[in-house]
Amino acid sequence: ELIAAGHASIEVWDYTPRRIASFLKLAHRRLGREAAQALSISALAARGDANEIRRQHKELTRE
């Protein structure tokens, strides 16, 4: 899981168990937030309000 989250495999082998647990907790939180955002966007799209969809798209793609 850590490698899938972007950690180098060579570095993961040197992590302490506590560090692994911390990184996994952070990764799971991030995945939860991403899932919640995807659900929110899907619900927004299902409602079909074009103006709201445009607003959300603009917000997500701003730099």
Q: Is residue 3 part of a domain?
A: no
Range of the domain at 27: 9-61
Low-confidence ranges of the chain (pLDDT < 70): none
Are the C-beta atoms of residues 24 and 31 closer than 8 Å to each other? no
What type of residue sits at position 34?
A: E
Please tell me the predicted confidence (pLDDT) of residue 40. 87
Number of domains, the chain = 1
Please tell me the predicted confidence (pLDDT) of residue 18. 97
Q: Is residue 56 part of a domain?
A: yes
Q: Is residue 54 part of a domain?
A: yes
Please tell me the predicted confidence (pLDDT) of residue 32. 93
State the Cα–Cα distance between residues 22 and 26, nearest whole angstrom: 6
Please tell me the predicted confidence (pLDDT) of residue 49. 84
Residue 48 DSSP SS3: coil
Model pTM above 0.85: no
